[in-house]
Amino acid sequence: MRSPIPKRRARIEIIPLIDIMFFLLASFMMVSLSQIHMKGIQVNLPSPTQAQVQPPLKDYVSIKVDQNGSTLFDGQFVSEDQVLPRLFALHQQNPDLKVSISAEEQALHGAVITLLDHVRSAGIKKVGYQIKAAAVGP
């Protein structure tokens, strides 16, 4: 014989459970944050003094030979007897110095090769050449 009361299956409602878990999580987080006491050590920092500012190392120099055989370092004229000492000084300041050599169209080949010899004798190993393609046509 069956019971006149219908049987209902038990169900677990998860939505109220999620609400309670979020409430507990937020409560524990707030309590734990209020229990942290920031303690620090008193530190006497040094007062700023005048620092010596060093100029940045020059890592690139453009050297140009004009049609008269004159040498220009970054557009500034340098006499023939000062080229090698200037290269030595630049290499001493920065051993990884890069040199870019260019020449005007009417510059003598010998002047460019002499400049290249000076660059190599100063110990500079990173040398580039600025080359412009010759115009083709009548």
Cα–Cα distances in angstroms (integers) from residue 30 to residues 19, 38, 84, in the given order = 17, 16, 72
- Domain residue ranges in the chain: 60-129
| Helical (H) or strand (E) element with 102 | strand 98-103
Burial category of 2 from C-beta neighbours within 10 Å (exposed 0-12, middle 13-18, buried 19 and up):
exposed
CA dist., res. 74 & res. 76, Å (int): 6
- Give the dihedral of Cα atoms 50, 54, 55, 59; nearest 10 deg: -160
Question: What is 60-129's CATH number?
Answer: 3.30.420.270
pLDDT beneath 70, residues of the chain: 1, 36-39, 50-57, 133-138
Tens of pLDDT, residue by residue over 118-137, are 999 988 999 988 877 555 55
Tens of pLDDT, residue by residue over 21-34, are 999 999 998 888 87
What integer pLDDT is reported at residue 13 of this predicted model? Answer: 82
- pTM for the structure as a whole: 0.55
